[in-house]
Structure 1
Amino acid sequence: AETRFNSAAGGSILSTRCSETYETKTALISLFGVPLWYFSQSPRVAIQPDIYPGNCWAFKGSQGYLVVRLSMKIHPTTFTLEHIPKTLSPTGNITSAPKDFAVYGLENEYQEEGQLLGQFTYDQEGESLQMFPAPKRPERAFQIVELRIFSNWGHPEYTCLYRFRVHGEPIK
């Protein structure tokens, strides 16, 4: 049976490489003058269990990295990426959602190029939680996984990462 390994209970964020957290002191969205949210969440929010508008890690631009240490070494089989649905978005769109991304297995957190585990596209018209099976089961097991986001759905300033999870088989 598959288990997920990077919930806040056991996983940790190792690094975001050079991705810069997008922070602003002014509310990004306000309704009748009432600020709805501010971005100051840390990348750790991406492995937490709750998801509601604004509770995401926002990074500058449309390309970013997240390196996660799982609670144990596993053979990754499936990845899930979650974003708020359009219906919950105060603007009615989710242009800040990740679009094209890849997942890599790393031997250690300093490794520049890991083993590619799969390249995927998050569908902004799809379900808020989307599952992406690894194309083939990697021979090696990994405890460190890198999520690399290449593009978003059109937001010019930042990309929001709500939740990323790794599922797999623990090594026997």
Structure 2
Amino acid sequence: MDSVSKSTLIKLPPSLASSPSKSSFSFSTPKPFIHNSYSDLKNIWAPTAIKKDKMDFLSCFFISTFIFFLGSLSSMIFVHWFIADTPSLIPPVREVLQPIIIKEIQEDSLDTYINYASISNKAEIISEFSTAEYHGALSWFSNNRRESALSDDNSLGNCWAFAGNQGQLAIQLGYEIYPEQFFMRHVNIVDYVTAPKQFKVWSTETSTESNKCSLLGIYSFDLRIKGEKRKAWELFKCKNSCDIAISGILLEIDSNYGGNNTCVYQFGLHGRPK
């Protein structure tokens, strides 16, 4: 009894205390289990948590792999059974590329010839025999000067503009040329009412002393829709006096497509130097 602390002794009721045995009982309060530190809990739970994360990762990996292979297999079956038996659904490569190739050749075909009516090849405007610009003297502050028709800059709005539908442009060439063909360009193919329609090309001959002018041809610049694409330019073969070297040409425009003024983006000459 002396070894047991007084705080742990429990007194019995009088009825029990007066029992013949005259015994006394003592109980000690059990000591609860207490972790020493946070590291104990970590050591207990960490292995289980890590194992669970590994299981979740592996499950996601296998599910994703299965879905990927299932999709690949479905695509192969679709191609084999549906598209392979209907080749018309897949046009040949040549049919797809041919319009693109033809378009590139058409757009670049003008560049395969030397334009002798270009300012870059020493061609000049003869002002006294040319129709005045639409804005008169103010045209020097715009892109509508006569020189624009001889420029390689064909950006929208950069054209020789004049009032009405009839006018002429006299061009002094930098070289004596045997004319072979001409070209007319109009960039705005959506709204082409100001584009030239009927025109003539005259030459100034230098092989004779009389400097006789000759009609090289009468042409029509056709901008109507043909097929799926309206043309932005057209080539015109020389028709008359093509075997005589010339040093100048005169572009005479007789009509346009209904506009109140006319706009010539570019006029060019291809030929052989003398």
TM bin, normalised by shorter chain, reads 0.7 to 0.9
2:201 to 97, 103, 107: 103
Q: Note if contact 2:214-2:241 (Cα within 8 Å) is conserved in structure 1.
A: no
Which position in structure 2 is the counterpart of 1:158?
261
Q: Trace 1:25-40 onto structure 2 (pairs within 5 A).
A: none
Indicate yes or no: 2:247 matched with 1:143. Answer: yes
Q: Note if contact 1:3-1:169 (Cα within 8 Å) is conserved in structure 2.
A: no
Cα distance between partner residues in 2 of 1:170 and 1:18: 25
Q: Note if contact 2:189-2:231 (Cα within 8 Å) is conserved in structure 1.
A: no
Shift in Å, 1:42 = 1.2
Higher helix share: 2
Indicate yes or no: 2:169 matched with 1:66. Answer: yes
Amino acid at match of 1:118: G
Shift in Å, 1:104 = 0.5
SS in 2 for 1:58: strand
Amino acid at match of 1:142: I
Which position in structure 2 is the counterpart of 1:94?
192
Look at both structures and tell me which one has the larger radius of gyration over its CA atoms.
Answer: 2
Indicate yes or no: 2:243 matched with 1:133. Answer: no
Cα distance between partner residues in 2 of 1:7 and 1:129: 16
**Identity rate of aligned residues, in percent?**
30
Q: Note the residue ranges of structure 1 that are not aligned, 5 or more in a row.
A: 25-37, 88-92
Amino acid at match of 1:3: I
Q: Note if contact 1:22-1:39 (Cα within 8 Å) is conserved in structure 2.
A: no
User: What per-residue deviation string (whole Å, max 9, x for no partner) do you get for residues 92-149 of structure 1?
Assistant: x2100000001010148xx998200011000122411111011245232101000000
* TM-score calculated relative to the size of structure 2: 0.50
Amino acid at match of 2:247: Q
Which position in structure 1 is the counterpart of 2:116?
5
Higher strand share: 1
Shift in Å, 1:151 = 0.2
Q: Note if contact 2:179-2:243 (Cα within 8 Å) is conserved in structure 1.
A: no
Which position in structure 2 is the counterpart of 1:122?
221
Which position in structure 1 is the counterpart of 2:68?
none
Aligned residues: 150
* TM-score calculated relative to the size of structure 1: 0.78
